[in-house]
């Protein structure tokens, strides 16, 4: 029987994502000036206020206020009427030194025996549903908001947009789990104030349906374009007026959008957030490693869909276990347990090995903090820190290394594909 599946996304101006981006900007700056930094920092944003808290072990000194303001400015909170503005918001820092009790469980004389920064389980997922091996509903939800942000910055076709926004996409699937059509699209976008509410709402709805959605559709493959139809139910700003938004409308906290960050409800999630954590925290690094494994397994033709779980004990390098679920789509004559044992031979899942393989000690995290950590394009870029200051530093880094298909040949060889 056909069924519906839904995923949501939130924009870079959503208060929780503002918090994530500030936390990850701090991570990047610490790593740019001291690659051995151990950092766990949380951010809270509300009306006219930013609070930074967390633990740090680093030789780097940062102007955390300046970093936070630059992030807020880049997102687009630059007007006083937003009640949260880059130049005028108050910033309180309560960042302090990391507990030596925690650090002793992570650092080792032999780097390869570096212990996990915490206990827990992490999941990776991949599917043939899209070219980037991501669930389709989430991929479309992200694309809607990326296009909305592009329209806002262009300030040509639509001139009333503010930074805060959310999207949601519901897709109908056939009995054999193939997407048939888009059933519902939800877009809620913050906007400037208008004199006449009814005219404003009608204008916003028209612009979303006739400008933003077609721009997204035009960038998709023909087979995905056919999923758009005249029967789509649109809910555009369904509560009505959305002038008060961002941190003034809702308090934002680091780590509250973990499903948006990963797979939109497909597969599973271990519960640990990513942003604000250096790669010794396996909540982050092992989630990237399991995505890397999942994507390479599917791309190699081992299966059409896969969920990968790894788990750790704090202070212990060797994982407690590796679990793989191919949902009955495996193309080899092995059960999932046997597949997991072979995967363990291909991918070293000790924390230090993950850091080295995926180059996670580089300042690569600001780019992950909005529109998903998974399904992005791996690319080499040059990043500039403290631009125009005496401490300015340029660093060439490779982003989203866990999205590379660099283990496909090894998987094929191991499984005789």
Q: Is 336 annotated as a binding residue?
A: no
Sign of the CA dihedral with 304 first, then 319, 317, and 361 last: positive
- The half-sphere exposure of 409 on its side-chain side, counting CA atoms within 13 A, is 1
Q: Is 241 annotated as a binding residue?
A: yes
Q: Is 14 annotated as a binding residue?
A: yes
Q: Is 55 annotated as a binding residue?
A: yes
Q: Is 256 annotated as a binding residue?
A: yes
Spell out a b/e string for 67-100, using b for 16 or more CB atoms within 10 Å of the CB, else e.
bbbbbbeebbbeeeebbbbbeebebebebeebee
Angle between helices 336-346 and 408-415 (to 10 degrees): 130
> Looking at the DSSP assignment, which residues form a beta bridge with residue 127?
305
Q: Is 42 annotated as a binding residue?
A: yes
Q: Is 376 annotated as a binding residue?
A: no
Q: Is 330 annotated as a binding residue?
A: no
Residue 10: count other Cβ atoms within 10 Å of its Cβ. 25
Q: Is 74 annotated as a binding residue?
A: no
> Looking at the DSSP assignment, which residues form a beta bridge with residue 165?
189
Q: Is 165 annotated as a binding residue?
A: yes
Q: Is 119 annotated as a binding residue?
A: no
- The half-sphere exposure of 373 on its side-chain side, counting CA atoms within 13 A, is 33
Q: Is 178 annotated as a binding residue?
A: no
Q: Is 85 annotated as a binding residue?
A: no
Strands laid side by side in the 120-127 sheet: 120-127, 305-312, 321-325
Q: Is 250 annotated as a binding residue?
A: yes
Q: Is 356 annotated as a binding residue?
A: no
Report phi then psi at 249, rounded to 5: -85, -35
193: left (phi over 0), alpha (psi -120 to 50) or beta: beta
Residue 176: count other Cβ atoms within 10 Å of its Cβ. 5
CB 65 within 8 A of CB 93: yes
Q: Is 268 annotated as a binding residue?
A: no
User: Annotated binding residues for L-methionine, as ranges?
Assistant: 55, 98, 250, 281
User: Annotated binding residues, as ranges?
Assistant: 14, 16, 42, 55, 98, 164-166, 241-242, 250, 256-257, 273, 277, 281
User: Annotated binding residues for K(+), as ranges?
Assistant: 42
User: Annotated binding residues for Mg(2+), as ranges?
Assistant: 16
User: Annotated binding residues for ATP, as ranges?
Assistant: 14, 164-166, 241-242, 250, 256-257, 273, 277
């Amino acid at each position: 029987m056909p069924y519906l599946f839904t995923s949501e996304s939130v924009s870079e101006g959503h208060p929780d994502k503002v918090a994530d981006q500030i936390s990850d900007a701090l991570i990047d700056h610490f790593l740019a000036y001291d690659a051995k930094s151990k950092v766990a920092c949380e951010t809270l944003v509300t009306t006219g206020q930013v609070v930074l808290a967390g633990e740090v072990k680093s030789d780097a000194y940062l102007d955390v206020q300046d970093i936070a303001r630059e992030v807020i400015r880049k997102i687009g909170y630059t007007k006083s009427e937003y009640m949260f503005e880059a130049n005028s918001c108050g910033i309180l820092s309560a960042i302090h030194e990391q507990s030596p009790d925690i650090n002793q469980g992570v650092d080792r004389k032999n780097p390869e025996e570096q212990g996990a920064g915490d206990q827990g389980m992490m999941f990776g997922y991949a599917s043939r549903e899209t070219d980037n091996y991501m669930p389709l509903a989430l991929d479309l939800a992200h694309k809607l908001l990326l296009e909305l942000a592009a329209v806002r910055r262009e300030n040509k076709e639509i001139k009333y947009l503010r930074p805060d926004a959310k999207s949601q996409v519901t897709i109908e699937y056939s009995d054999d789990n193939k997407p048939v059509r888009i059933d519902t699209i939800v877009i809620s976008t913050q906007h400037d104030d208008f004199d006449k509410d009814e005219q404003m709402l009608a204008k916003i709805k028209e612009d979303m349906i006739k400008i933003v959605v077609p721009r997204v559709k035009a960038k998709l493959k023909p087979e995905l374009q056919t999923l758009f139809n005249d029967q789509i139910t649109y809910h555009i700003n369904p509560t009505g007026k959305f002038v008060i938004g961002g941190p003034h409308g809702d308090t934002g906290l680091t780590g509250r959008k973990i499903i948006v960050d990963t797979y939109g409800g497909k597969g599973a999630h271990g519960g640990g957030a990513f942003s604000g954590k250096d790669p010794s925290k396996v909540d982050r690094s092992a989630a990237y490693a399991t995505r890397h494994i999942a994507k390479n397994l599917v791309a190699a033709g081992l299966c059409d869909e896969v969920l990968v779980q790894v788990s750790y004990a704090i202070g212990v390098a060797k994982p407690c276990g590796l679990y793989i679920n191919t949902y009955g789509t495996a193309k080899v004559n092995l059960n999932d347990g046997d597949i997991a044992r072979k995967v363990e031979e291909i991918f070293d899942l000790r924390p230090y090995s993950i850091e080295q393989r995926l180059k996670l000690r580089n300042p690569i995290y600001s780019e992950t903090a909005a529109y998903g950590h998974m399904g992005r394009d791996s690319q080499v870029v040059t990043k500039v820190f403290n631009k125009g200051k005496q401490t300015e530093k340029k660093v060439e880094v490779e982003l989203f290394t866990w999205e590379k298909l660099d283990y496909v040949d090894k998987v094929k060889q191991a499984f005789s594909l």
